[in-house]
Amino acid sequence: MNDLELMDPEKHTNEVKDLVHLPLGLLGFERVKNYVLLAKREQEPFLWFQMAEDAKHAFLVVPPHFVVTDYQPELSKEDVEFLDLIDPADAFVLNIVTLRGARNGTVNLKGPIVINRRTLIGKQVIPVNAAEYATHHPLPV
């Protein structure tokens, strides 16, 4: 089994890493397909989505329920098939944070990264209801 370790509180020590494969990459970074999902206890609820072959480059990500209370991306039939999702609870949703100035930032709610917890395969999706959400949603700081 290659379930997400992050989801297992027993294993949640100071630092947890999972390898996530994005067969299509991120939009604009289509060639980078392997990422390390890195969780450091002192940085919760943020996580790092670090390029596996180039550790100098990383995206800051956050599970959206720490940012908004009423977020429900609706995945297209094509994305559900691509990610091989059967149970919605198997989908781990992360949103990319853009740091802006000192200790502030915005979150992209329009293009979430969705990872199948069972296969650790992910995709940056544009949900069917993307028009309801912003790419520059302010972080609650």
Residues near another protein (CB under 8 A), total: 73
Does 16 engage in binding with another protein (CB under 8 A)?
no
Nearest-approach distance from CB 121 to another protein, in angstroms: 12
Does 71 engage in binding with another protein (CB under 8 A)?
yes
Nearer CB in complex with another protein: 20/38: 38
Does 99 engage in binding with another protein (CB under 8 A)?
yes
Which residue among 52, 68, 120, 121 contacts another protein (CB under 8 A)? Answer: 68
Query: 109: closest CA among 67, 80, 55?
Result: 67
Written as six digits, the tokens of 107 are 């979150």
Nearer CB in complex with another protein: 1/56: 56
Q: Which whole-number Å values give the CA distances from 92 to 13, 56, 73, 100, in the listed order?
A: 20, 25, 12, 25
Cβ burial, residue 8 (10 Å; 0-12/13-18/19+): exposed
Nearest-approach distance from CB 1 to another protein, in angstroms: 20
